[in-house]
C-alpha cells in the first residue's frame, strides 16, 4: 500500500470521461488500497480514480472514517431533495465553495468483488457520492460553485473530497 500523487486542477486527466471497469485485477485491487491510504492520509472523505491519474469508473468514499465504500461503475438510480453546503476537493487544495446537491441519493455499483450492491446516502454521504461520481465524468465541483471559490482558512474545518 502506498500514498499516490493526487492530480490537481489544471491537469487534463481531471476533465476526461472515465471508462467502465470490466474486471477486478490484482493491479486494480492494489490501486483501491492505495486510494484509501491516500484519502485517509489527506483527511478526505472520497477519492475518485482520475484524481490519481486513472481514467476508470470507480471511487472510494468514507465520510465517517469507519465506513469505507468502493464504488465501481456506479450509477445514481434515485435522488430527491436539495442541500446546499460547502465542499472541497483534494484536487483543488485549500479552496472551498458552496454547491447544491440532492439531499438523498441511491446508487448502484459493484464492490471490489464485482458484486452489485446498493448504497443510499443523505447529508454528507449524498454530497460525497455526487461529488465523486462527477469526477468520473470529468466534472469538478468548481464548475458548480454558487458565487466564488473561497480560500480555506486554517481555523476552518472543511471536508475535502
Piece of the chain touching Ni ion by CB under 5 A; list 14-22, 35-43, 72-80, 82-90: 82-90
Min dist CB 91 to Ni ion, Å, is 5
The residue at minimum Cβ distance from Ni ion is: 89
Piece of the chain touching Ni ion by CB under 5 A; list 9-17, 85-93, 114-122, 149-157: 85-93
Complex with Ni ion: residue 81 or 93, whichever CB lies closer: 93
Q: What are the DSSP calls for 9-53, one per residue?
A: TT-GGGGSPPBPP-S--HHHHHHHHHHHHHHHHTTBSEEEGGGGT
Piece of the chain touching Ni ion by CB under 5 A; list 63-71, 73-81, 87-95, 98-106: 87-95
Min dist CB 90 to Ni ion, Å, is 6
Residue 89, interface with Ni ion (CB under 5 A)? yes
Tell me the number of residues near Ni ion by CB under 5 A: 1
- 143: DSSP letter: G
Torsional class of 37: left (φ above 0), alpha (ψ -120 to 50), beta (otherwise): alpha
Measured CA to CA, the distance from residue 24 to residue 21 in angstroms comes to: 8
Measured CA to CA, the distance from residue 131 to residue 74 in angstroms comes to: 12
Cell numbers describing residue 20: 467502465
- 3-state SS, residue 86: strand
Complex with Ni ion: residue 73 or 97, whichever CB lies closer: 97
Question: What positions carry a catalytic annotation?
Answer: 132
Min dist CB 155 to Ni ion, Å, is 22
Residues contributing to the site for Ni ion (CB under 5 A): 89
Amino acid at each position: 500500500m502506498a500514498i499516490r500523487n493526487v492530480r490537481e486542477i489544471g491537469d487534463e486527466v481531471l476533465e476526461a470521461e472515465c471508462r467502465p471497469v470490466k474486471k477486478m485485477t490484482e493491479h486494480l485491487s492494489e490501486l483501491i488500497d492505495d486510494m484509501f491510504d491516500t484519502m485517509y492520509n489527506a483527511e478526505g472523505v472520497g477519492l475518485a480514480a482520475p484524481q490519481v491519474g486513472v481514467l476508470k469508473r470507480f471511487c472510494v468514499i468514507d465520510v465517517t472514517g469507519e465506513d469505507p465504500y468502493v464504488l465501481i461503475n456506479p450509477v445514481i438510480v434515485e435522488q430527491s431533495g436539495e442541500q446546499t453546503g460547502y465542499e472541497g476537493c483534494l484536487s483543488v487544495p485549500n479552496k472551498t465553495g458552496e454547491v447544491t446537491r440532492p439531499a438523498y441519493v441511491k446508487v448502484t455499483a459493484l464492490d471490489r468483488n464485482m458484486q452489485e450492491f446498493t448504497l443510499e446516502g443523505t447529508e454528507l454521504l449524498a454530497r460525497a457520492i455526487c461529488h465523486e461520481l462527477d469526477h468520473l465524468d470529468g466534472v469538478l465541483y468548481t464548475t458548480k460553485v454558487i458565487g466564488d471559490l473561497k480560500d480555506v482558512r486554517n481555523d476552518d474545518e472543511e471536508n475535502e473530497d
